[in-house]
Amino acid sequence: MNDRDVTYVGGAWVPLTSDARMEVVNPATEEIIGRVPEAQAADVDLAVAAARSAADAWAATDIPTRQGYLHKLRDNLVARTDELAALITTEMGAPARIAGGIQVNLPVQVVDSYLELLSTPPEPERLGTSLVVREPVGVVGAITPWNYPLQQAIIKIVPALAAGCTVVHKPSELTPLTSYLLAEIIDAAGLPAGVYNLVPGTGPVAGEALVAHPDVDMVSFTGSTRAGRRVGAVAAETVKRVALELGGKSANILLPDADHAVAVKVGVANCFLNAGQTCTSLSRMLVHTSRYDEAVERATDYAANYRLGDPTDPQTRLGPLVSAAQRARVHDLVRQAVAEGARLTTGGPDVDGLPARGYYLAPTVLADVDPDSVAAQEEFFGPVLSIIRYDDEDHAVAIANNSRYGLAGGVWSADIDRATAVAMRMRIGQVDINGAAFNPLAPFGGYKQSGHGRELGPYGLAEFQEIKSVQLP
């Protein structure tokens, strides 16, 4: 049992003001694997006070000093890679092959990217008679989700620290143990007291208290669009800066000249990554009518043979969903999609042979999906692929943009220029051409109800900085 009785505030492990506890459940076994304190508003007050008291001194540190601390943080992450990966697998069900790769190694790459950026800090800008400088925004409330519990924490905490901000971190109540291990790693890096603080708790209590707090200068939130609306509304009361990375229903356009054998396989794998619990999941596959039946057959065969099971098995590709509530939600959405006319070609909520325990859902493919239906409009956040037919490029782009979301997408074509031209017409924050690799230096964020603000690279650093103009005589 991985029980915790304290939290990390002001550079020390301290008890909380309440005896309330939250249970952490292994989604593959449904067993309780730990309990952590449940922070109340008074605990948030203490954490924010610690961050505020450390803010001026941390903002005044020079770049080499911040780099030194981040180097230690990075080395500590690497030293505990196996421990982090195993914990993430246990806590949220990510298969070991994903936990050891994307879930842990990618955050290390992100830290490396900020160490590189700090090596060549930009000079103050001169505009006419003015000097334009960037300064730390101050105290940052970082609220992170459960699907990538380490990665999402790192892409907020590290650039905030690099910019000279102090942080109060509220992780998801479903995956707090990973954040405790991260707090140990940060503590071992020796950061000054109060620069990083941890408040485990629920969104309605600890999250709202953090967002509403008058001494928090900025909130960086990743989660659902519904929760993001609430964060924006509460933050507006104190007119603080807000960065929101929210939901998505990303379109993957396969142009007729694409290599469908590769495009369909990679598209299905992207959709099912992390059991479909990825905000950038390419969950809508758009296929030209001339190759539609071929694509449906390929996707169905590939999904039906996807390796599902125990996430600790290195051969497993698809683990459980994070909770019983999440599985029930996806079940309901799939049933609604079929009722609206989608054709279930494999998977679904009524498949036999799944593990007796654990929140598993078979890899699912829905064909003949109407672009206006629930299967095309709602973010399922599960291993469910919707395949949609289109007539020409204009039709494909119209379908892709027919969404309240605008986070990510993909385009496949034998002609890179043609694919790029289509990508430029998509109202989304990032587009992959022919399955191009993720770039941790490129800005990450969305249009429309996928949020605002950008994470990663220089744009992610700028989110945590204020801009000041100094008028010179």
pLDDT 10s digits, 203-242: 999 999 999 999 999 999 999 999 999 999 999 999 999 9
Quick check: 253 and 400 in contact, CB under 8 A?
Answer: yes
pLDDT of residue 432 exceeding 90, the answer is yes
Question: Token digits for 301?
Answer: 């065969």
Q: CATH classification of 251-440, choosing from 1.10.1060.10, 2.30.42.10, 3.40.120.10, 3.40.309.10?
A: 3.40.309.10
pLDDT band at 123 (very low <50, low <70, confident <90, very high): confident
Q: Would you give the distance in Å from CA 258 to the centre of its chain?
A: 29
Q: Using CA atoms in the order 446, 448, 450, 454, what is the torsion angle rounded to 10 degrees?
A: 30
Q: CATH classification of 6-246+450-471, choosing from 3.40.30.10, 3.40.50.880, 3.40.50.11540, 3.40.605.10?
A: 3.40.605.10
Nearest to 243 by CA among 161, 121, 163, 155: 155
Question: Which residues pair with residue 364 across a beta bridge?
Answer: 384
For 117, other C-beta atoms within 10 Å of its C-beta total: 18
Q: What percent of the chain clears pLDDT 70, i.e. is strictly above it? A: 100
Question: Which residues pair with residue 410 across a beta bridge?
Answer: 252, 432
Residue 103: C-alpha distances to residues 88, 122, 135, 244, 315 (Å): 8, 30, 31, 21, 17
pLDDT one-digit tens code per residue, 323-371: 999 999 999 999 999 999 999 999 999 999 999 999 999 999 999 999 9
Q: How far apart are CA 272 and CA 39, in angstroms?
A: 34
- pLDDT at position 125: 92
Residue/partner pairs of 181-186 with CB below 8 Å, 24 or more apart = 181/80, 181/83, 181/84, 181/87, 182/150, 182/153, 182/154, 182/157, 183/7, 183/8, 185/73, 185/76, 185/77, 185/80, 186/8, 186/73, 186/76, 186/157
Q: Is 190 exposed, middle or buried (0-12, 13-18, 19+ CB in 10 A)?
A: exposed
Assess whether 279 carries a catalytic annotation. Answer: yes
pLDDT one-digit tens code per residue, 42-55: 999 999 999 999 99
pLDDT band at 273 (very low <50, low <70, confident <90, very high): very high
- Kind of pairing between the strands at 241-245 and 251-254: unpaired
The three state secondary structure string of 273-322 is HHHHCCCCCCCEEEEEHHHHHHHHHHHHHHHHCCCECCCCCCCCCECCCC
pLDDT of residue 106 exceeding 90, the answer is yes
Average pLDDT over residues 396-406: 98
Q: What is the DSSP letter of 100?
A: I
- pLDDT at position 146: 97
Question: Token digits for 238?
Answer: 């104190």
- DSSP track, 21-65: EEEEEETTTTEEEEEEE---HHHHHHHHHHHHHHHHHHHTS-HHH
The mean predicted confidence, pLDDT, of the chain is: 97
**Which element (helix H / strand E) includes 13?**
strand 12-15
Quick check: 260 and 254 in contact, CB under 8 A?
Answer: yes
Nearest to 442 by CA among 138, 155, 73, 146: 155
pLDDT band at 126 (very low <50, low <70, confident <90, very high): very high
Average pLDDT over residues 311-323: 97
Average pLDDT over residues 105-132: 94
Q: Would you give the distance in Å from CA 291 to the centre of its chain?
A: 33
Nearest to 287 by CA among 365, 346, 362, 363: 365
CATH 3.40.309.10 residue ranges in the chain? 251-440
Q: Name the active-site residue from 165, 271, 279, 378.
A: 279
- pLDDT at position 470: 96
pLDDT of residue 121 exceeding 90, the answer is no
Q: Name the active-site residue from 91, 245, 378, 455.
A: 245
CATH 3.40.605.10 residue ranges in the chain? 6-246+450-471
Q: CA angle at residue 74 from 73 to 78, to 5 degrees?
A: 115
Quick check: 254 and 74 in contact, CB under 8 A?
Answer: no
Q: Would you give the distance in Å from CA 37 to the centre of its chain?
A: 24
- pLDDT at position 132: 96
pLDDT band at 268 (very low <50, low <70, confident <90, very high): very high
- pLDDT at position 371: 98
Question: Token digits for 351?
Answer: 């498949």
For 19, other C-beta atoms within 10 Å of its C-beta total: 9
Q: What is the DSSP letter of 256?
A: T
- pLDDT at position 2: 86
List all residues 6 or more positions away from 194 whose beta carbon is below 8 Å from its beta carbon. Answer: 9, 10, 11, 50, 51, 52, 53, 54, 55, 166
276 sits in the region (left: phi over 0; alpha: psi -120 to 50; else beta) called: left
